[in-house]
Structure 1
């Protein structure tokens, strides 16, 4: 600075001379190509998420989840069924190449490859196009994943033993069973307790013998001809023993 020459100021290009509000760019010249993340894109995402959230809430109100009996870790015959979004993995673990000695393949390797592919997708397909027809690799993997999940889910639902699962999970009121009764001893002698349980609460795919609502004649018919998973000819006793057994079962109520 020299006397009489005044003062000189040096500007910094990193600092704007005028402050402007944070307004998103105008993309009107490129319709359908791109848009501002805030608020345009984010608002659409929130709206779609809100629609799905409301849909799930309506489903939970319309179809209340059923309650089952208290979990019994000693019941090795229990048939588990996971939630719907895990049904495809549940079905995968039933196949020989993903179960038994190859359980690690179905539990870790195959799901790991699938989810690893999702993580690598942004690096494998880096094209600027957004239309599925212009991105064959990403579209092909997506369709393959959807087809696999849909098929495995359908297989799991179609071949699951729903009747046995409903019986084993049914809440049965406890009844004081007279283990000294003649009818109970006949059940024990014919190995009925191995399937129906010592408290006659059911198990191993067999229904409970409490609150059956069956008449003695209906009980005798099932003992002779079988029903569901119970094959015919299981009862080996005399007609007199069958009469006592049928009378005993028909009177078992939780009231």
Structure 2
């Protein structure tokens, strides 16, 4: 270019003599390689999104969320399990070098180093090669991260007691108990019992549901007086009559003995009466024959 050709001097700056409008190139210049954003591109994206949305809705209907019982802050035996994408971190905290006094190592330091290395991978290996074996640093870090996550997740799933987890979160139907019965009023005065079994007798921090086991009145009295397992003895505060009333109420599954068909003394008496009635006809017939 000759000096000054096609240029105009305006003070100390030089600008082109002819300005061309900034018009994007037409699609016809790239046949088969480009397409219009509207409606071609958006229509295809919407169709793919609709297919995935319908599939997701079908999965939610076919496999509903595994709901558990209402959270109880007094339940100390419950073992929570994180979602599947956090199981590798959950498993990491089970090892000795990352738990107990070293919890900070397993919860902060090791995950921080791992995720920090992945974030720094583009700067640690800034080559222009696209083949993985030509970029050993970035490929090695990514492969190490994938293998570690898969291994820890598998170990967490394999070591978890799924049967115990299903039982501890199982939803139980509320039992309809007679709160107007004398046995219920006596139970409400026993702070030691309420502290373990809860105010509604459905179980608490240290004791199970009172009505889970099928005991008769005498067995309930024996357990209250002498204890059972981790349950201490001599925790009842009251008279012997109140103890018998409470035991009959528990044996009758939360109903007053005169209102239900529980396993208390009422059942034993009814069974004895039934046996007596069965024997009476035989005795009567024998007496008639002798006469």
Q: Same fold (TM over 0.5)?
A: yes
Q: Which of the two has higher C-alpha Rg?
A: 2
TM-score w.r.t. the length of structure 1 is: 0.58
1:228 aligns with none
Is the 8 Å Cα contact of residues 118 and 142 (structure 2) preserved in structure 1? no
Q: Could you say which residue in structure 2 is the equivalent of 1:18?
A: 21
Structure-2 separation of matches of 1:125 and 1:150: 24
Q: Return the alpha-carbon distance in structure 2 between the equivalents of residues 14 and 202 of structure 1.
A: 90
Post-superposition shift, 1:105? 0.8
Deviation, structure 1 residue 89: 0.7
- The Cα of 1:134 is off from its aligned counterpart by 1.9
Alignment-derived partner of residue 157 in structure 2? 157
Structure 2 counterpart of 1:120? 120
**Conserved? CA contact 1:165–1:205, under 8 Å:** no
Q: What is the rounded CA distance, in whole Å, between the counterparts of 2:18 and 2:74 in structure 1? A: 72
CA distance in 2, matches of 1:124, 1:161: 42
Scaled by the length of structure 2, the TM-score of the pair is: 0.52
Unaligned runs of 5+ in 1: 1-7, 29-34, 186-190, 217-232, 237-243
Cα distance change on mapping 1:208 and 1:169 into 2, 3 Å:
farther
Change (3 A) 1:198 1:160: farther
C-alpha RMSD over aligned residues: 4.9
* Gap change, CA 1:107 and 1:235, over 3 Å in 2: closer
Q: Check the 8 A contact 1:172/1:201 in 2, yes or no.
A: no
Task: Summarize deviations over 1:179-210 as a string: whole Å, max 9, x none.
Answer: 987xxx9xxxxx9x96x877564678998676
Name the CA shift for 1:160/1:23 in 2 (closer, same or farther; >3 Å).
farther
Question: 1:132-151 to 2 correspondence within 5 Å?
Answer: 132-151=132-151
Match in the other structure for 1:110: 110
Task: Kindly indicate whether the alpha-carbon contact (under 8 Å) linking 2:122 and 2:138 is maintained by their aligned counterparts in 1.
Answer: no
Aligned length: 205
Higher relative contact order (CA 8 A, sep 6+): 1
Contact 1:177 1:199 in 2 (8 A): no
Q: Aligned-pair distance for 1:98?
A: 1.1
Question: How far is the alpha carbon of 1:153 from its aligned partner?
Answer: 0.8
- The unaligned stretches of length 5 or more in structure 2 are 1-6, 188-192, 216-227, 232-247, 254-260, 264-291
2:131 matches 1:131 = yes
Report if the CA contact (8 A) 2:92-2:106 is conserved. Answer: yes
Q: Per the alignment, do residues 16 and 145 of structure 1 end up closer, same or farther by CA in structure 2, a change over 3 Å counting?
A: farther
